[in-house]
Structures are given as C-alpha cells and as structure tokens.
Amino acid sequence: MFKNTNSNFQFPNFQILFNLLSILRTPAWRQDFLPRGMAGSYLRTSLPSLVLVLALASCSQKNTSDKEVEALLSDLQQTYAPDKRIARFHLELEKQETDWVLKGQSDQKSAMAILQDSLAAMGLEVTDSVQHLPAPELGADTLGVVRLSVANIRSNPGHSQELATQATMGTVVKVLMKKGGWHLVQTPDKYIAWADDGALEIMNKEALEAWKAMSKVVYTEPYGRSLTSTEADAAIVSDLVVGDILALNGEEGDYYRVGYPDGREAFIPKSAARPYSDWMETMATSETSLVDTAETLMGLPYLWGGTSAKGVDCSGFTKTVYFLNGIVLPRDASQQVHSGMLVDEEGDFSKLQPGDLLFFGSLREDGSEKVTHVGMWIGNNEFIHSSGDVHISSMDPEADNYDEFNKNRYFRAKRVLGHLTPDVREVAEVY
C-alpha cells in the first residue's frame, strides 16, 4: 500500500472536484494542454476515471491502494502517450524500503502536472525520480539539425541496434537527452529514437533561428556529391541524396556555394539543386507529381528503418514520396493508416485515385488488425511499394505482376491528398 498522509476520515471535497471539472472542461484548457484531436476522448474516458480516483482518495482514511494510482497512471498514459514511438509518459511505482518512488521517463508536462496534483489530493507521499525530458542537464541545447546526407536513427543507443528511421540533411530535431555518444531525438514526424553525435549539429533556440533564417537549396538528384571547389579535380566534401537541405551562401558560375549545418562549405552543380524558396513556391502536390516521384525510386532496395534514397522500408517509401511533395506523413504503416480520409475497405479499387495509400496486414487472435505494409496507388489497377525493392504490383489476376499475397491481406485505402489530418504536416511547417 502507498503511504497516505491522511490519518483522519475526510468527506469528499466536492468544491475541489467541481473546480477540477470546470477547469478540465474549458476550451482553453483543452486547446493548451491536450493533444490535438484528443479532447473529446479525454472528457469521455479519462476525466471520469480521474475524478473517480480523486473522489476515492478524499473519502479514504489510510488505505488508498496502489491499484488506484496505477489506474491513474494508465489513464494518463493512454490519454497523453498511447504510442511510445512519438510520446513518453511511461512511469512505474517502486517500493524502496518504506517509501514509494515514481520512476520512468516523461516528456508530457501537462500529464505530469495532473499526476502530481492528483497524488497530492490523494495524500500520497511519493518521491519523484522521473527522468523529465528534455533532460535538464542539456541546458539550452535542446535542438539539432542533421549534418549528414542521411542520419541513421536507432531504437537504442549503439550502432548495432535496430534502425528505427532516418533523417536527411537539414532536418530539425528536438533533443531530449544525451547518453554517451548518443542523443535521444524527436524528428518532425514526432518519432523518438537515438542519433549518434556525428549525425547532428546541436543548437540552442537562437542558433537554430539563425540557421532557419538563411537562404537554402534543396538537392534534387537521387544521389550526388559536394565538392571543395568548382575545379574539375576538386575533392569531395560529402555525399548527398535527394531532399537534403543546405544553406545557400552564394553562386559561382554553374555552381551553388552551399553551407552545412556545422559550418562546412562546398559547391554543388546548379543542375542538381533548387533554391528552397523556389521549390516550395512551385510545388504543386498532385496525383501526377506523387506518381512521378515514386517512379524515380524504382528498384531502390528495401531497408528496414530506411526513409531515404539510400534505402526504404514500406512506410519509409510512402513517407519519402510524400516528403518530396511537401507533406510529412507519420513514420510507420500502423500510424499512416490513421491519416487522411477513408476511401475503400471492401476491395473496390475503382474508388481509388493515384496517390492513395493502401494498407495491408493480418488479424490478431483477438480479432484486432495488425497493419504491417503500405503501398501507393498509381492507377491502372496497380500500386507501387517497397518489398524486397521498390516495384509495381497489380491487383488484376490476369496481369503478369499480379500480387495475390497482398491482395488477400488488403485492409483499406486512405486519401491524404486534399485531406490532411492533424497527424500530417506540411514541409513548410517544420523545415
């Protein structure tokens, strides 16, 4: 049992509960503190549980149970951080001698504030040993910009660990903590994983604003290199891939003089890049542009965790295609399936338009869906996807490229184009 400082019976403080209800139901509170799209579900599910816990606490003598506190923790986690890939509020209570200690990791300030107030209202003495993110020891250096052509971002710190995702040069990340030679970062699609020190230029807010204020260029060729000069025998500075963003420091003949986030300078052919402002102004995300972009990646090898021209997994492929057309999708297929507008879930492919996302998977023992694959419709009864490599498959049994396996595990199709949901962002918002 938790130690409860309430030694005497107390009637419920209904005025406190009434005030809490009033605060939590205000539109301003929901807008400022609840994740987008979650306000309704919180008030229907989490709020009653929270009020019940507080009511039980105010009615108790000494015997508030650990189960009630665990229910509160679970409730807050489901509300603020149901997906640990994009949010951290994973706490546990541990008994140490006669004291209870709250341990774990959290980047959810609002949830922590509610938890602390709730535990106080329950009269519980709990030592807070939570690792709060961003970690205080980072100081002001809680931002970073990718300085490599492609940063490999892993599930755990270590080069032998699983590749979780990638980020191309110029991507801005939030830095949450440091462990050895690794930083826990959050990418623009909110994915949380580990990048090694060499992948990032760590910055404070002022340095990042200075970087963002610079004119930029976007590399537009699938692969290439930057050079130390415009001479024919110039040495290589680094490799580059499509989507890399560099500072535009000047022009020399047929070359752009570019700057890296870490201050390096180099030259790239004008034919291989475009000024970022022109790229954004002329970008017209359309069915045609999505298909054209997808087909430039034909034959690219499958790479688990890949989201770049160096290799892509299934969702990394659709994510890259949409990124190069100005849209930032969620990272994984099981996240992308919640984006956009439902088009079909009956296998009526006549409803689909080029650019629609198709989702595939299997059913778990409890009957719930397990989404494990995604592709993009290109028309003519065909879709393009990364499986082994990037290739085109057909839903037509008479076609040479008929994909019976995926047709049999098809779940539904969603349309993102023209139907951006809160989990989808435009590139202009985050770069």
* Catalytic residue, candidates 90, 159, 314, 391: 314
Query: 385 catalytic, yes or no?
Result: yes
Closest CA to 319 of 427, 160, 245: 427
Dihedral sign for Cα 31, 143, 77, 82, please. positive
- Three-state DSSP at 48 gives helix
d(CA 393, CA 396): 9
d(CA 373, CA 385): 9
What amino acid is encoded at 53 in this protein?
Answer: V
What amino acid is encoded at 422 in this protein?
Answer: P
d(CA 185, CA 174): 5
230: Cβ–Cβ under 8 A, 6 or more apart, which residues?
252, 253, 254, 255, 267
Where residue 104 falls (left for φ over 0; alpha for ψ -120 to 50; beta otherwise) is: left
Alpha helices, DSSP H only, in 257-355? 276-282, 287-295, 314-323, 333-336
Query: 391 catalytic, yes or no?
Result: no
Query: 373 catalytic, yes or no?
Result: yes
How far separated are the first and last CA of the chain, in Å rounded? 49
Say whether the peptide bond before residue 134 is cis (omega within 30 degrees of 0): yes
* Catalytic residue, candidates 59, 90, 338, 373: 373
* Catalytic residue, candidates 59, 90, 159, 385: 385
173: Cβ–Cβ under 8 A, 6 or more apart, which residues?
143, 144, 145, 146, 167, 185, 186, 187, 188, 195, 200
Residues involved in catalysis: 314, 373, 385
